[in-house]
């Protein structure tokens, strides 16, 4: 066999050298790692609540957001201040650095082949742990309205689309599960940073003065965000 034949050839790479001009907008940005999942709009409201309406928040994927200040000097002035509220919401909050990117991401997966006797939150959490961790369960799955496939939102460090078969053993029986990353519309569009509460529930709660409750560990976070919503509306 001739050298190189029969072997997969690597795709040619690409190189791009950024300039000061292309990175200028990042010089006034900081990367925040959230303690709990939240929508970009909710995080934006945190800054408005603290009197900083000119700050812009953009999702980076997973639990990270890019917070862009009006100017570089304004950003550094903010970082030098004692902002006691930042540790309440962020694990870390630092100026953007070269190479900063999301290390994880949110996505919806569909799990087929689940025997009904293990259709429960504990099993869904176990499946989520295979790829990262479970964020929330689709209402149709949680309420057992559609039993053909479980739809789960997870946070994962896997960069490529998830497509995997899992061998499952339940007592003395074996099953084969098909796990695919969802690409359709609807709830699957709630990738990245998610609150676990629909817009309809949020609106209804605001109108009635009640607090919407999200499932999982983000419930307390969402409750506080809802209070912020009401305070912002009263300004």
pLDDT surpasses 50 at 196:
no
pLDDT surpasses 60 at 76:
yes
What pLDDT, on a 0 to 100 scale, did the predictor assign at position 19?
79
Least confident range from 50-64, 69-83, 197-211: namely: 197-211
What mean pLDDT do residues 65-93 have?
Answer: 89
Q: Model confidence over 91-148: pLDDT tens digits?
A: 899 999 887 777 788 899 999 999 999 999 999 999 999 999 998 999 999 999 999 9
**Is beta strand 56-61 parallel, antiparallel or unpaired with respect to 64-68?**
antiparallel
Q: Model confidence over 5-42: pLDDT tens digits?
A: 555 565 667 887 777 777 888 889 999 988 877 777 88
Instruction: Provide the token pair at 79.
Output: 């970082």
pLDDT surpasses 70 at 205:
no
The whole-angstrom separation of Cα 234 and Cα 202 is 16
Q: Read off the pLDDT band of 227 (50, 70, 90).
A: low
The whole-angstrom separation of Cα 196 and Cα 179 is 22
- Residues 6 or more apart whose Cβ sits within 8 Å of residue 21: none
pLDDT surpasses 80 at 170:
yes
pLDDT surpasses 50 at 210:
no
CB atoms within 10 A of CB 11: 6
- Under 8 Å between Cβ of 216 and 153: no
pLDDT surpasses 50 at 4:
no
User: Sheet harboring 173-181: ordered strands across?
Assistant: 132-137, 149-156, 105-112, 173-181, 163-170
Q: Give the start-to-end residue ranges of the domains of the chain.
A: 24-95, 105-189, 199-233
Cα 156 to chain center, whole Å?
9
What pLDDT, on a 0 to 100 scale, did the predictor assign at position 194?
43
Q: Return mean pLDDT, the chain.
A: 78
Fold (topology level) of 24-95: Alpha-Beta Plaits (3.30.70)
Using alpha carbons, select from 90, 74, 169 the residue that is nearest to residue 123: 169
Distances in Å between the alpha carbon of 70 and those of 25, 44, 57, 89, 218?
Answer: 10, 14, 12, 21, 30
- Under 8 Å between Cβ of 152 and 108: yes
Distances in Å between the alpha carbon of 210 and those of 169, 202, 205, 224, 226?
Answer: 43, 9, 5, 12, 9
Instruction: State whether residue 74 is helix, strand or coil.
Output: helix
């Amino acid at each position: 066999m001739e050298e190189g034949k029969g072997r997969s050839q690597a795709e040619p790479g690409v190189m791009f050298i950024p300039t000061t001009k292309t990175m200028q907008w990042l010089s006034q940005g900081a990367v925040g790692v959230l303690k709990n999942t939240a929508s970009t709009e909710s995080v934006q409201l945190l800054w408005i609540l603290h009197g900083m309406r000119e700050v812009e928040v953009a999702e980076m994927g997973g639990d990270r957001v890019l917070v862009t200040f009006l100017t570089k000097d304004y950003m550094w002035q903010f970082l030098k201040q004692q902002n006691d509220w930042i540790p309440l919401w962020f694990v870390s909050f630092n100026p953007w650095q070269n190479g900063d990117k999301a290390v994880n991401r949110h996505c919806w997966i569909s799990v087929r082949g689940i025997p009904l006797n293990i259709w429960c939150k504990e099993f869904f959490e176990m499946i989520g742990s295979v790829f990262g961790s479970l964020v929330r369960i689709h209402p149709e799955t949680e309420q057992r309205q559609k039993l053909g496939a479980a739809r789960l939102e997870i946070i994962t460090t896997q960069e490529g689309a998830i497509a995997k078969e899992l061998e499952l053993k339940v007592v003395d029986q074996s099953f084969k599960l098909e796990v695919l990353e969802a690409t359709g519309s609807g709830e699957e569009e709630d990738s990245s940073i998610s609150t676990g509460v629909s817009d309809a529930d949020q609106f209804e709660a605001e109108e009635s003065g009640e607090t919407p409750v999200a499932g999982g560990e983000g419930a307390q976070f969402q409750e506080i965000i809802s209070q912020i919503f009401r305070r912002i509306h009263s300004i």
